[in-house]
Amino acid sequence: MRIILFGPPGAGKGTQALILSEKYGIPHISTGDMFRQAVKDHTAMGLEAREYMDKGELVPDVVTISIVHDRLILEDCTTKGFVLDGFPRTIEQAKALDRMLDEINEPLDAVIQIDVDAEILIRRLSGRWTCTNCGALFNTHYNRSKQDGVCDQCGGPLFQRDDDKEETIRNRVNVYEQRTKAVIDFYSSHQLLIPIDGDQKIEKVTETIAEALR
Catalytic residues, which ones? 13, 89, 128, 161, 172
To ligand AMP, the closest distance from the beta carbon of 57 in angstroms equals: 6
Q: Nearer Cβ to ligand AMP, position 21 or 64?
A: 64
Q: Nearer Cβ to ligand AMP, position 26 or 84?
A: 84
d(CA 116, CA 10): 8
Residue 143 CB-density burial (10 A; 0-12 exposed, 13-18 middle, 19+ buried): middle
Nearest residue to ligand AMP by CB is: 32
Q: Nearer Cβ to ligand AMP, position 54 or 211?
A: 54
To ligand AMP, the closest distance from the beta carbon of 56 in angstroms equals: 6
To ligand AMP, the closest distance from the beta carbon of 214 in angstroms equals: 27
CA-based nearest residue to 43, from 25, 66, 26: 66
Q: Nearer Cβ to ligand AMP, position 12 or 56?
A: 56
Q: Nearer Cβ to ligand AMP, position 26 or 38?
A: 38
To ligand AMP, the closest distance from the beta carbon of 84 in angstroms equals: 9
To ligand AMP, the closest distance from the beta carbon of 50 in angstroms equals: 9
Q: Which residues pair with 12 in a beta bridge?
A: none
Strands 110-115 and 2-6: what pairing? parallel
Give the CA radius of gyration of the chain: 16
Q: Which residues pair with 83 in a beta bridge?
A: 3, 28
Helical (H) or strand (E) element with 29: strand 28-30
| Residues at the contact surface with ligand AMP, assessed by CB under 6 A | 9, 31-32, 35, 52-53, 56-59, 64, 86-87, 89, 93, 163, 172
User: Residue 122 CB: number of other CB atoms within 10 A?
Assistant: 17
Peptide bond into 8 cis (omega under 30): no
User: Residue 91 CB: number of other CB atoms within 10 A?
Assistant: 15
Q: Identify the sign of the CA torsion 14, 17, 23, 28.
A: negative
